[in-house]
Amino acid sequence: MDNLSIKRVADSNIIMTELVLPQHTNQLGNLLGGQLMHWIDICGAISAAKHSHRVCVTASVDRIDFHHPIKLGDVVTLVSSVNRAFKTSMEVGVKVYAEVLSTGKRVHTNTAYLTFVSVDKDGKPVPTFEIIPETDDEKRRFEEALNRRKSRLISRQS
């Protein structure tokens, strides 16, 4: 396989920043879960598209863990990258951080794992590039993505 069909995890890194405004919150002033899921999906899709050079559609969301509430006025930073690429699909990990600008306090609030499929102009799945993890963290996420994929495939058979 030539070097053009292999990409690095770092090539798919995306950082997206959003400000939590009143229209993003519930009656308690907390960010709506659905709004955060929307931002996570967009950030993940951009990572997948950056890796595959294709439009990528969401195939599944494994889980989104909510560790801490995000408040009105917080700055939300979403950090994503492709954890592993399979034939046409990719697992993308998204980490979410909230920062209170007046104090500088930054906290990891959420983690999400999504699967995207690269598609052609007719919406048909097409093969994507291989991905090479380089750092220890990337290698760990690469292996964990395979385990999550195996679990997804087993649960589909049930």
Global confidence as pTM: 0.92
Dihedral class, residue 104 (left if φ above 0, else alpha if ψ from -120 to 50, else beta): left
Rounded distance, CA 101 to CA 118, Å?
Answer: 37
Rounded distance, CA 135 to CA 132, Å?
Answer: 10
pLDDT in tens, 34-46: 999 999 999 999 9
Range of the domain at 90: 3-157
pLDDT at 59: 95
We report the CATH number of the domain holding residue 91 as: 3.10.129.10
∠ CA 87-90-95, nearest 5°, is: 165
Q: Give the pair of three-digit tokens for residue 53.
A: 């050079």
Phi first, then psi: give them for residue 34, nearest 5 degrees: -65, -35
pLDDT in tens, 58-96: 999 987 878 899 999 999 999 999 999 999 999 999 999
How many domains does the structure of the chain reveal?
1
